[in-house]
Amino acid sequence: MKSDVERGILLVVSSPSGAGKTTLCHRLLGEFPRLSFSVSYTTRPKRPNEREGTDYHFVDDQRFSEMVGAGAFAEWARVHGHRYGTARSTIDENLAAGRDILFDIDWQGGTALKTKYADDTVMVFVLPPTLEELASRLRRRGTDAPDVVERRLAKAKEELGHFGEYDFLLPNVELEAAYNNLRAIYLAAHLTHKRQAFRAQRLLEEVRAEGEPR
């Protein structure tokens, strides 16, 4: 791996809908200016509280297909009957600018990124405290029709089965504790052996140089 600590981290945060991932992610983005959010493309209709270009780039099926055809996506997947994808350019531009990137994408997207950016991808799965709590959070949210909520709940149960793909499992029982753990994961991700080995190498070179005759 190229020894460059400035290269960005790809932080994937997934969870079944309603586990509290969005709140955690917004807080992390607010605290760390070096971290930017990857705005995905989706064919899903916009919810009333969402903004084009901030939450998603909302596109129709034809446009999405064109982008797939042009190889514009680093990954894309079908979730809840709609297509969602991460543009290659989003990743390239942020990494080139030395930024870390936060992805709110599912396990399919996360594993695809992990395959392409193996040394730089950190995958976190947010776990709801209980299934009952998950269901009530989804219903309270009130942005989706009841049949959509039920579909999301069924999908959530299925998504839980993919916990094995993740590096970290983050239980969200109490928001403050969960947030502290998420920020600890993010900070520690910069300090892995692979990312910091060049510093130790540099010190060893100095040691060697000291030993050489003048």
Single-letter amino acid code for the residue at 169: L
Rounded distance between C-alpha atoms, residue 69 and residue 80, angstroms: 22
For residue 14, the cross-strand partners are: 125
Contact between residue 82 and residue 56 where contact means Cβ atoms under 8 Å apart: no
Closest distance to ligand 5GP from the beta carbon of 103 (Å): 7
Nearer to ligand 5GP, 100 or 104 (CB): 104
Nearer to ligand 5GP, 73 or 179 (CB): 73
Contact between residue 111 and residue 159 where contact means Cβ atoms under 8 Å apart: no
Does residue 120 belong to the site contacting ligand 5GP (CB under 6 A)?
no
Per DSSP, the chain holds a count of helices (H) and strands (E) of 8, 9
Tokens at 85, concatenated? 């994808």
Choose the binding region for ligand 5GP from 101-109, 168-176, 184-192, 203-211 (rule: CB under 6 A).
101-109
Within the chain, residue ranges assigned H as helices are 21-31, 61-69, 88-96, 107-116, 131-141, 146-160, 175-189, 193-211
Does residue 139 belong to the site contacting ligand 5GP (CB under 6 A)?
no
Binding ligand 5GP (rule: CB under 6 A), the pick from 8, 12, 14, 94 is 14
The CA radius of gyration of the chain, in Å to the nearest whole number, is 20
Binding ligand 5GP (rule: CB under 6 A), the pick from 7, 27, 36, 44 is 44
Does residue 153 belong to the site contacting ligand 5GP (CB under 6 A)?
no
Does residue 104 belong to the site contacting ligand 5GP (CB under 6 A)?
yes
Rounded distance between C-alpha atoms, residue 100 and residue 103, angstroms: 10
Does residue 84 belong to the site contacting ligand 5GP (CB under 6 A)?
yes
Does residue 100 belong to the site contacting ligand 5GP (CB under 6 A)?
no
Closest distance to ligand 5GP from the beta carbon of 107 (Å): 8
Q: Where in 169-188 is the site for ligand 5GP (CB under 6 A)?
A: none
Maximal CA-CA distance, the chain: 78
Closest distance to ligand 5GP from the beta carbon of 104 (Å): 5
Counting every residue written for the chain, the total comes to 214
Rounded distance between C-alpha atoms, residue 177 and residue 212, angstroms: 51
Applying CB under 6 A, the residues found at the interface with ligand 5GP are 14, 17, 40, 44, 75, 77, 79-80, 84-86, 104-106, 108-109
